[in-house]
Homo-oligomer: A and B are copies of this chain.
Amino acid sequence: MHTYQQLKDYVNKILSKQTFDKTPKTLFQPIKYILSIGGKRLRPVLTLMSCELFGGNIKDVIYPALGLEIFHNFTLLHDDVMDKSFMRRGRPTVHQKWNSNIAILSGDAMSITSYQYITRCKEKHLSKVLEIFNQTAVEVCQGQQLDMEFEQKGCINIHEYLTMIKHKTAVLFGCSTKIGSILADSPVQEQNRIYDFGVNLGIAFQLQDDYLDSFGDKKVFGKNIGGDILANKKTYLLTKTLETIDSKTKNILKQYLQNHKADNPQKKIDTIIDIYKKMNIDVHIKMEINKYLNKSLKILYQLPIGDNKKNHLLKLINQIEKRNK
């Protein structure tokens, strides 16, 4: 059994040995680039932890685990083109460093590469692994499409928001844990439970992302606070606020939202964070995060496996709750 840090190091070690140096270079260099600029490696670590939880060997799972990380980074690459983002993890995005066409095509090659890795498993597991991965991969696209559509919508409700983040983020967490369990030959019922564990963890993770973007510590968080606010993103914070706000404050908020280019960005951020605080949205989202973490915890406790085997996943839940970057 290994800790998050040990497994993250293992993922990075094996990932750094992958060459991606085929020709033409401009097709493969962006893949190498985006995979080399860091990241939490949460999805492959979840696959490895889930595998160990069910008594499997991480060496049998490392390539499908890498495939999940490659797929995640492929979605970031194309999302950055669609969102016209210029920075990712403090570095220029692929379409900024090269161009949009290269970002589209490298992304396509990266999506196929993720299949090459995900299918590097024992033949008896192949069809189950592909079934959950194919389903998840389509759902991730559905989540991104919803996210883009929400940008055009005036107002969404919490249910719509949760459906979006479930698809865009959480199902890939569930897929990662499930693939770990499939490859460890766990019973089907437990594969489904560890999938639900991952999905709930993923929802909590995304909610925490929303929280940190407004309430994080800039020095630790590593990027500017209030990015979501400036972009008028339909986060949990904004959605919940609009559901419960009084009409006077709603007018103040709407003036800021209708103004796409804020004259005074810092004032916009400060005012809206102030509204969030006055309405206790920061407290509310923390409760919501805990609700989903507790769902994960409950599933983990109920698994008929020795408690000592659950330690590292429990610590990971704790780290996600406490994370500040």
A239 proximal to B (CB < 8 A)? no
Give the CA-CA distance A104 to B79 in the complex, in Å. 9
Contact A101 B148, beta carbon cutoff 8 Å: yes
Contact B126 A112, beta carbon cutoff 8 Å: no
A263 proximal to B (CB < 8 A)? no
A300 proximal to B (CB < 8 A)? no
Binds B, one of A138-146, A227-235, A275-283: A138-146
* Count of chain copies: 2
Which of chain B's residues have a CB closer than 8 A to the CB of A109? 138, 141-142
Given contacts A105-B141, A108-B78, contact A127 B126 (CB under 8 A): yes
A176 proximal to B (CB < 8 A)? no
| Residue in B26, B115, B130 whose CB lies within 8 Å of A145 | B26
Contact A111 B111, beta carbon cutoff 8 Å: yes
| Residue in B27, B116, B141 whose CB lies within 8 Å of A142 | B27
Which residues A138-168 have CB closer than 8 A to chain B?
138, 141-142, 144-146, 148-149
Which of chain B's residues have a CB closer than 8 A to the CB of A26? 145, 149
Report A60-85 CB contacts with B as 1/0, cut-off 8 Å. Answer: 00000000000000000010011000
Give the CA-CA distance A293 to B26 in the complex, in Å. 33
A246 proximal to B (CB < 8 A)? no
A187 proximal to B (CB < 8 A)? no
Which of chain B's residues have a CB closer than 8 A to the CB of A107? 108
Contact A105 B144, beta carbon cutoff 8 Å: yes
Closest chain-B Cβ to A314's Cβ sits at a distance in Å of 33
A24 proximal to B (CB < 8 A)? yes
Contact A146 B104, beta carbon cutoff 8 Å: no
A interface residues, how many (CB within 8 angstroms) = 35
Which of chain B's residues have a CB closer than 8 A to the CB of A127? 119, 123, 126
A224 proximal to B (CB < 8 A)? no
Give the CA-CA distance A82 to B24 in the complex, in Å. 17
Which of chain B's residues have a CB closer than 8 A to the CB of A248? none
Contact B137 A105, beta carbon cutoff 8 Å: no
A113 proximal to B (CB < 8 A)? yes
| Residue in B82, B108, B130 whose CB lies within 8 Å of A105 | B82
Contact B134 A27, beta carbon cutoff 8 Å: no
Give the CA-CA distance A146 to B27 in the complex, in Å. 9
Give the CA-CA distance A219 to B276 in the complex, in Å. 66
Given contacts A115-B115, A123-B127, contact A24 B145 (CB under 8 A): yes
Which of chain B's residues have a CB closer than 8 A to the CB of A104? 78, 81-82, 104
Closest chain-B Cβ to A133's Cβ sits at a distance in Å of 9
A23 proximal to B (CB < 8 A)? yes
Contact B149 A137, beta carbon cutoff 8 Å: no
A261 proximal to B (CB < 8 A)? no
Closest chain-B Cβ to A122's Cβ sits at a distance in Å of 10
Q: A24-B146, A104-B104, A116-B134 are in contact. List 18 more A-B contacts (CB 8 A).
A: A24-B142, A26-B145, A78-B108, A82-B101, A101-B148, A105-B144, A108-B108, A111-B111, A112-B134, A112-B137, A115-B115, A115-B130, A115-B137, A116-B138, A123-B126, A123-B127, A126-B126, A126-B130
